[in-house]
Structure 1
């Protein structure tokens, strides 16, 4: 007695397998993270923050760093937007810290001390401020740099402006959607 075959069964199984594969592929192709797509307007907003061009008297932008550097980093998790300036300053780090404490506060920024390392001096650890709420949140960081760090991070050979005094970077950052973010999260 010949075996009975059901020509529709293999076709149905093949179709079910194809649909499941397509569904799973579609789900995994959708990233749960925010990306750099359509962030030009938000980057423009970050670049226009007045704090980026506010400097202590005597601070200068090194050659090659005369304008705001900005971009979107999308290498892991949610994308991060930033606008940054690098400066050389002939005075002390403390003068830089004092200047930005005063200037940032006057511009509506709130200082957020480091809860993990409260004993690290601001002249070593830098400063971090926040402004805005969910949807328009911004983060402001001040960090100190050296000629060696500039070489490593930017491929920059620092000139005589870094022979004395302090080098520092001031950066305004944000999630792509302006979601609230903290300094020490």
Structure 2
């Protein structure tokens, strides 16, 4: 799998400011002294090196090598009420389309931890341009999610009737890039 390609262009809000730039494996997210059109943002991170668990370390090593990785999330929505949208499982990172719920949740917890530490960005509005997401859309876990939603539709009062998958990208923030320099020494 090669993830060193460009990701589509986007405008998004981050720390209360709108950033417009091209995301790619070499682009950064939030970082100390990040420039915006309005002003220079203040530092929002601790300057102590973060302590990572083994799964977080694996992700950081992979991101140091590849620059960015695919990600998805499962959404339950309603075809009749557009405001009804629930994130049911996120982030979803898979090495294999047969990865089960336990594996996906463990990886998701590691990704959430890295995001909370300010080392990665999870963006569901962007996609890797050179990655085939069929392993995510055809995954056994997503099929199970769709089947569960179909079962739920048969029950009175079930809010959602549509299983969706949003595809995205995991990138290193500026702090994450600085952190991964230790893996390249």
Shorter-chain TM-score range: under 0.3
Give the structure-2-normalised TM-score: 0.22
Structure with the higher strand share, 1 or 2: 2
Q: Which has the higher contact order (CA 8 A, sep 6+)?
A: 2
| Structure index of larger Rg | 1
Give the structure-1-normalised TM-score: 0.22
